[in-house]
Amino acid sequence: MTSPSGGSDEAAVEAFRIAHGLDQPFYIQYLNWLKGAVVGDFGYSYMSEQPVFEAVLNAFKNTLTLSVLALVIALIIAIPFGVISALKHNTIVDDTCRFCALFGVSIPNFWQAYMMIILFSVILHWLPPSGFGHGTDISYMILPATVLGTGSAAVMMRMIRSSMLDVMEKEYIQTARGKGLSEKIVIIRHALKNALVPVITVVGLSIGFLLNGSVVVETIFGWSGIGNLVVDSILSHDYMMVQGSMLFVAVIFLLINLFVDLVYVWANPEIRYDRNF
């Protein structure tokens, strides 16, 4: 015999299944979800009843804010140190820059995150260890953005160094020097400008990684971005939110790759896509 409370629970479960279309065959559920996804309707969250697209978009805005700061940090570190490393090729300066880049690529971001929390939050009390902050309080963004930015900076710096070394051997660099141009002008206007063209791809991939959200970093710092949203949705078995988040992330990554390809063609006139392909 079913207890009154048990009957009530079963009725609530059945009502939930009907409300979300879970009583229909799987292929019908999938087709209905696809039809909605085409027009931006990813369904509703099982937990909050909030529209999935609205929740994902709000989380993505937070991730975008963090990603912009992280990218700025990455470029500030990567460009000058990559150029210096190339200009001081095979010196102690170059060796130090390469070691730092290798270290930055090798260390796990979760370890770096915890070390920075211990140093700047627990010991020095300079920055908050986690949280989303209030309004435009940038202090909550500094630690997670630095963790994301330094990892990307290490990859960019190695690419800039390699590209600069290749460009510095080109004939037009020697021609510019032969015209009597100062070394500063030769490096900035001729060498660096052309060396950054191959780096566009690396920067584009880094942007895609940052915008799609670092699950580990956002979770550690309690940042309400899309990575943290995905983790919470998985833990709470909110499959509609997981599906919508993954589709949104995939589309964003594809659009970024397309944009990077177009920028690469614009920056390097020697490359043209075959229209007959």
In tens, the pLDDT along 138-189 reads: 888 899 999 999 988 988 998 889 988 888 888 888 888 888 888 888 888 8
pLDDT at 104: 86
Tell me, yes or no, whether 191 lies in a domain: yes
pLDDT at 197: 78
> Which of the four pLDDT bands, split at 50, 70 and 90, describes residue 2?
very low
* Structural domain total, the chain: 1
Number of H helices, E strands in the chain: 12, 0
Q: Which domain holds residue 149?
A: 51-267
> Which of the four pLDDT bands, split at 50, 70 and 90, describes residue 99?
very high
Tell me, yes or no, whether 276 lies in a domain: no
Tell me, yes or no, whether 275 lies in a domain: no
Q: Give which of 72, 152, 78 is closest to 112, Cα–Cα.
A: 152
pLDDT at 144: 92
Residues 241 and 233 sit within 8 Å (Cβ to Cβ): yes
Which pLDDT tens digit goes with each residue over 64-87? 888 889 999 999 999 999 999 998
Place of tokens 């070691």: 99
Q: Is the pLDDT of residue 201 over 70?
A: yes
Three-state DSSP at 225 gives: coil
Tell me, yes or no, whether 37 lies in a domain: no
Report the share of the chain in percent with pLDDT over 70.
89
End-to-end CA gap in the chain? 69
CATH number at residue 141: 1.10.3720.10
Tell me, yes or no, whether 148 lies in a domain: yes
pLDDT at 134: 52
Tell me, yes or no, whether 151 lies in a domain: yes
Average pLDDT, the chain: 82
pLDDT at 269: 60
Tell me, yes or no, whether 102 lies in a domain: yes
Q: Is the pLDDT of residue 51 over 50?
A: yes
Looking at per-residue pLDDT, the higher value among 4 and 41 belongs to: 41
Tell me, yes or no, whether 192 lies in a domain: yes
pTM (2 d.p.): 0.80
pLDDT at 91: 92
> Which of the four pLDDT bands, split at 50, 70 and 90, describes residue 277?
very low
